[in-house]
Amino acid sequence: MKATLPTPHLRSFPSPTPLSFKLSFAFPETRRKSLSISSTPKGTPSPSLAYVPLRVTASSQAASAPTVNLTAIPTEMKAWVYGEYGGVDVLKLDEKVSVPEVKEDEVLIKVAAAALNPVDAKRRQGKFKATDSPLPTVPGYDVAGVVVKVGSQVKELKEGDEVYGNINMKALEGPRQFGSLAQYTAVEEKLLALKPKNLDFAQAAGLPLAIETAYEGLERTGFSSGKSILVLNGSGGVGSLVIQLAKQVFGASKVAATSSTGKLELLKSLGADLAIDYTKENFEDLPEKFDVVFDAIGQCDRAVKAVKEGGSVVALTGAVTPPGFRFVVTSKGEVLKKLNPYLESGKVKPVVDPRGPFPFTQVDEAFSYIETNRATGKVVIHPIP
């Protein structure tokens, strides 16, 4: 099946050193230290879907910037495509997808890395087909890469800029037909920001949709300095960032978060004052109540029992029980720009699932893994050749 798109330009990425970090400290130097959450020994073949307890180790890693040929944009590219809704088996790697055309307010990105989100799976399953773009679809919301072409009305970005972002302004309303799980993707300039200098492409790719969701959710609750918050699924892609933003950006007085036994230390390393093992205790039975409960797992009926009177409950998934509320994140490059200093200073750190990054040829396996709901942080695809 051949899908139609516009025009970018090809660049090659050197084979990266296997990424052992998961929680990266941001340092401006060429080499940086990182906190590594590794669950599989070096040399493990394909990621398996079984859960393995995490351990935290220290490692160091040299940052490498890929080089891009800004003159050779092909007409066709490799991309993951599905022509019908369904399970993981509908995904196909197509080597002859047309490179997207660039509109006047857009840039063309040579994709270096992408990331999966639960919404990617729901979209592929047809959960919001009524508002989806037409099939066939190249999936993918999160992207990190290099600008290789700019539209006539682009004001700030230029060829050669390393950028990251969530390419869909509204996740459920007409998301792009041609997403980020491809060698090239076209994106509106206003949805992007320059990649934090201390992060590599794999780390940056895992941030946009999750960090925008965390930030907008906190803003919508009116969260502010001195307030307390309980984060359900604090080790997930959104939850791990809610913990950090609440503490480092909004000035929370207390952050509590839930996870399984093996991930409690991760919660503490992210800034949680109280790490709750949901396999051993019910958070709603705690005598302490919270100003905000951020439900990133789908337990709103229990979450409302843990909030103070007059407090707020954000429910990202599952049924909503009053006073809980749900929202659909709006992608904004301005939010990423605002948060870049916290990322570059190391106050807020990306968390990449230790089973990844998954190579571009294993996007179907990455989808299967994220649908187990066992991922820690973000499931990243890298490198994308």
Q: Looking at the chain, how many residues does it have?
A: 385
User: H or E stretch including 374?
Assistant: none
Do 377 and 287 share a structural domain? no
Max Cα–Cα distance, the chain, nearest Å: 63
CATH code of the domain in which 362 resides: 3.90.180.10
Q: What is the mean pLDDT of residues 33-55?
A: 35
Structure tokens belonging to residue 341: 């200093």
- Domain membership flag for residue 237: yes
Structure tokens at 129: 């087909």
Q: What is the pLDDT of residue 269?
A: 98
> Smallest Cα–Cα separation from 249: which of 266, 227, 282, 274?
227
CB 232 within 8 A of CB 242: no
Domain assignment present for residue 278? The answer is: yes
Could you tell me if 166 and 80 lie in one domain?
A: yes
Looking at the structure, tell me whether residues 100 and 138 fall in a common domain: yes
* Range with lowest mean pLDDT among 65-69, 102-106, 213-217: 65-69
Q: Please choose, from the candidates 121, 119, 167, 174, the residue with its C-alpha nearest in 3D space to the C-alpha of residue 296.
A: 119
Whole-angstrom Cα distance, residue 78 to residue 321? 44
* Of 89, 96, 79, the residue nearest 177 (C-alpha): 79
One-letter amino acid at 170 equals K
- 131 and 219, same domain (yes or no): no
Query: Quick one: pLDDT band at residue 72, thresholds 50, 70, 90?
Result: confident
Domain contains 41? no
Tell me if 160 is assigned to some domain. Answer: yes
Residue 58: strand, helix, or coil? strand
pLDDT at 66: 56
Please indicate, yes or no, whether residues 168 and 105 belong to a single structural domain of this protein: yes
257 and 187 belong to one structural domain? no
DSSP for residue 167: S
Please give the residue range of the domain that contains residue 80.
76-195+352-381
pLDDT reading at 361 higher than 90: yes
- Residue 35 in any domain: the answer is no
What pLDDT was estimated at residue 267?
98
Domain assignment present for residue 371? The answer is yes
Domain shared by 191 and 80, yes or no: yes
> What is the helix (H) or strand (E) element at residue 34, kind and residue range?
strand 31-38
Is the pLDDT assigned to residue 28 strictly greater than 60? no
Amino acid at 168: N
Euclidean distance between CA atoms 217 and 313, whole angstroms: 10
Q: Are residues 237 and 316 in the same domain?
A: yes
Residue 216 confidence (pLDDT) above 80: yes
Percent of the chain beyond pLDDT 90? 81
Terminal-residue alpha carbon distance, the chain: 21
Domain count, the chain: 2
Quick check: 302 pLDDT over 80? yes
Question: What is the pTM (predicted TM-score) of this model?
Answer: 0.84
Question: What pLDDT does 71 receive?
Answer: 61
Residue at 372 is within a domain: yes
Q: Is the pLDDT of residue 8 over 80?
A: no
Q: Quick one: 251 and 286 in the same domain?
A: yes
Supply the angle between the helices 239-248 and 208-220 in degrees, to the nearest 10.
Answer: 60
Q: pLDDT tens, 230-286?
A: 999 999 999 999 999 999 999 999 999 999 999 999 999 999 999 999 999 999 999
Which residue from 6, 36, 205 is spatially nearest to 107, judged by alpha carbons? Answer: 6
On whether both 286 and 372 belong to a single domain, the answer is: no
The verdict on 81 and 144 lying in the same domain is yes
What CATH number is associated with residue 219?
3.40.50.720
User: Same domain, yes or no, for 108 and 151?
Assistant: yes
pLDDT at 39 over 90: no
- The predicted pLDDT at position 45 comes to 39
Indicate the SS3 state at residue 78. strand
Residue 11 placed within a domain: no
pLDDT surpasses 60 at 14: no
Q: How does DSSP assign 262-322, residue by residue? A: GGHHHHHHHT-SEEEETTT--GGG-S--EEEEEESSS-HHHHTTSEEEEEEEEE-SS---T
Query: What tens digit of pLDDT does each residue of 131-140 get?
Result: 999 999 999 9
Last residue of a domain, one of 326, 341, 373: 326
| CA distance linking residue 351 with residue 23, whole number of Å | 5
